[in-house]
Structure 1
Amino acid sequence: MIGKLKGTVDEVGEDHVVVDVHGVGYLAFCGARTLANLPAVGEAIVLFIETYVREDMIRLYGFATEAERGWFRLLQNVQGVGAKVALAVIGTLSSGDLANAIALQDKTMVARAPGVGPKVAARIVAELKDKAPAFSSGAASEELGLKRELGEGVAPAPIADAVSALTNLGYSRDQAAGAVATAVKEAGEGASSTVLIRLGLKALSR
């Protein structure tokens, strides 16, 4: 099985790229984001590959990062999501945006992907809500956990109040949640909303 290709860009199509590896051209299907960020023809490239083997074909899917490939695999665990839909989601949302959408249960963001209707988007955020933090570590995982609590309406009152206060100051909900997660790590889960707001603003000013 092919797990990674390292070579030069030989050709770029609407939905694929051909990578020249020592004279052999490998065709890999890619999402829109990956294709948009490809180097020019003739330049070096590294793609992480997911290989699909069927009775009548072998198909390669290419990703700029291992995280994107991981999301591609995970998305297909959701009912109604195949390779085409998973690639469309990854092609529309970055790994961070997708993790945030799932943590915040934001099905509207996921539904921005071509071919993803409201029902499929709802299944994606619902079925993957407990798996999104596994794609992060340390502070990032804590932040995703906090965002998930906010999305489900079960975050402690001081945390929810602090996030609300920061959004009222003009910060996005995502920025506010990230700043408050940093504040909670510094001050502890028992900190008051006043303390969390102050530390959150400090984090946002860095």
Structure 2
Amino acid sequence: MIGKLKGLVDEIGEDHCIIDVGGVGYVAYCPLRTLSGLEAGTAVALFIETYVREDMIRLYGFRSALEREWFRMLQNNVQGVGAKVALSVLSTLSPGELANAIALKDVAMVARAPGVGKKVAERIITELKSKAPAFAGDATGTIGLKQELGEGAAPAPVADAVSALANLGYSRDIAANAIAAALKAAGEGADAGTLIRLGLKELAR
């Protein structure tokens, strides 16, 4: 089984790339986020998930081992999610953003991925909510938020505050982490206005 490829980027397609390793070209299907960071003729190292079937061998490539773990988790734990849907999710959301979406039970954010409807997004959140903290990467703040709130859905003020910061131009990941810190400072009963104010203070540090 192939677990990693190190070589030169020979070709970049719509959903795959070809990595030249010692004169042998390996086709690796990758999330769009991974493909967008590649440049033909440059050196690259991809973490590989190998699928072997009777009629084919297919390689899936990722820039980090964490991203590969999410690819595995999505398929192994969520009914109705195969390689195509898993790649779509990881093309749309980074591991940190996906962990945040699960922690905040943000169905709409997960459903942004092409081919992922509301029901599939809900299944992803439900089935992976206990596993997300271990695979959060740098998204530690919102995972802390999840632990503060337990297993219940994040209250409306939290979701509203995250959306408000996102509307101001901050990435969803940064906004969620700032509101997580604000919630710890203000307490669970804080309203959206208080959380937004404290979140902006956190971002100004």
Give the TM-score normalised by the residue count of structure 2. Answer: 0.79
Structure 2 distance, partners of 1:99, 1:197, is 21
Aligned structure 1 segments of 4 or more residues deviating by more than 6 angstroms: 187-190, 195-199
Question: Once the two structures are aligned, what percentage of the paired residues are identical?
Answer: 62
Task: Tell me how far apart the structure 2 counterparts of residues 58 and 108 of structure 1 sit (CA, whole Å).
Answer: 34
Cα separation, partners in 2 of 1:87 and 1:166, compared to 1, 3 Å: closer
- Three-state SS of the structure 1 residue aligned to 2:165 is coil
Please state whether the residue corresponding to 1:86 is helix, strand or coil.
helix
1:171 partner amino acid? L
Alignment length, in residue pairs? 197
RMSD: 3.3
Partner amino acid for 1:21? Answer: V
CA distance in structure 2 between the aligned counterparts of 1:16 and 1:66, rounded to whole angstroms: 18
Letter in structure 1 aligned against 2:55: D
1:12 paired to 2:6: no
1:1-206 residue pairs with structure 2 within 5 A? 1-39=1-39, 41-76=40-75, 77-136=77-136, 140-141=139-140, 143-147=142-146, 149=149, 152-153=152-153, 170-172=164-166, 175=174, 177-182=176-181, 200-206=199-205
Shift of 1:38: 1.0
Contact 1:105/1:151 (<8 A) preserved? no
Instruction: Give the letter for the 1:10 counterpart.
Output: D
Taking the aligned partners of 1:93 and 1:141, their CA distance within structure 2 comes to 16
Alpha-carbon deviations, 1:110-148, whole Å to 9, x = none?
A: 1121211221111011111111111137x8445314147
Q: Kindly name which structure, 1 or 2, has the bigger radius of gyration based on alpha carbons.
A: 1
TM-score by length of 1: 0.79
Structure 1: how far apart are the matches of 2:44 and 2:26?
12
Structure 1 spans left out of the alignment, 5+ residues: none
